[in-house]
């Protein structure tokens, strides 16, 4: 496997030195712009408790803390968990933040725990996305919001190319995500596309 393929494969599950490089980049300016755009579609402004699935470097957990009393993050990469804890160290010490090493298909939280759940640039790598969506539905409170933000519409050429390089990467269109979410029980599914970039945001509610 070439060095470039090894590096980009770290987007799936960051590990080792290359994984640390990748996670550091997740908190960079390019991801920040995407996150700011995605957060613009979360209409529930105030929340008691929020969760970021696949929290990476922890920057989006930090954003959730701006609109939540408490924010949690989960990731199945130990490297990501470590970085996310560093990013949110102050909030963790203050009891407002918790970062756990966990899989989205088996969330370590009770039913009806969160007002907001987010997933940024991560659903591509959920190998059992039906189970993952069912788990998120379970831990979301009634009237809670689930927001997915991807740097891919599922058909753009760049992402198609990367999906051929990165093992286990699956692309999703907005319509495909909508169908999967509704199958998991979500309602009020809305699809948003960026006017100039191949970005995708999908929001859904649990009634």
Q: What is the reported pLDDT for 165?
A: 83
Parse the chain into domains and list their residue ranges. Answer: 3-206
pLDDT tens-place values along the chain, 207 residues long: 444 444 444 455 555 544 445 555 555 555 899 999 999 999 877 899 999 999 999 999 999 999 999 999 999 999 999 999 999 999 999 999 999 999 999 999 999 999 999 999 999 999 999 999 999 999 999 999 999 999 999 999 999 988 888 888 899 999 999 999 999 999 999 999 999 999 999 999 999
pTM of the model: 0.88
Q: How many Å apart are CA 59 and CA 204, to the nearest integer?
A: 22
* CATH class of the structural domain 3-206: alpha beta
Q: What is the reported pLDDT for 29?
A: 58
Q: What is the reported pLDDT for 26?
A: 59
DSSP assignment of the chain equals --HHHHHHGGGTS--HHHHHHHHHHHTSHHHHHHHHHHHTT-----EEEEEEES-TTSHHHHHHHTSEEEEEEEES-HHHHHHHHHHTHHHHHTTSEEEEE--TTS-SS-TT-EEEEEEES-GGG-TTHHHHHHHHHHHEEEEEEEEEEES--S--HHHHHHHHHSTT-----HHHHHHHHHHTT-EEEEEEE-SSSS-EEEEEEE-
Q: How many Å apart are CA 120 and CA 75, to the nearest integer?
A: 12
Q: What is the reported pLDDT for 8?
A: 47
Q: What is the reported pLDDT for 27?
A: 58
Q: What is the reported pLDDT for 174?
A: 98
């Amino acid at each position: 496997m070439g060095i470039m393929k090894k590096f980009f494969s770290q987007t799936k599950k960051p590990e080792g030195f290359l994984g640390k490089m990748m996670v550091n980049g997740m908190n960079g300016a390019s991801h920040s712009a995407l996150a700011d755009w995605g957060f613009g579609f979360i209409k529930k402004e105030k929340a008691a408790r929020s969760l970021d699935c696949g929290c990476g470097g922890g920057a989006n957990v930090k954003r959730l803390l701006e609109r939540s009393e408490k924010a949690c993050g989960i990731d199945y990469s130990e490297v990501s968990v470590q970085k996310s804890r560093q990013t949110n160290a102050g909030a963790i010490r203050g009891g407002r933040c918790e970062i756990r090493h966990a899989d989205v298909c088996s969330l370590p939280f009770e039913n009806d725990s969160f007002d907001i759940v987010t997933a940024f640039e991560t659903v591509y790598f959920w190998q059992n996305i039906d189970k993952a969506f069912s788990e998120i539905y379970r831990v979301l409170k009634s009237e809670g919001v689930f927001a997915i933000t991807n740097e891919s519409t599922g058909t753009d050429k760049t992402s198609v190319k990367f999906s051929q390089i990165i093992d286990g990467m699956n692309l999703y269109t907005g319509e495909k995500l909508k169908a999967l979410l509704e199958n998991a029980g979500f309602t009020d599914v809305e699809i948003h596309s960026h006017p100039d970039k191949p970005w995708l945001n999908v929001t859904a509610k649990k009634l």
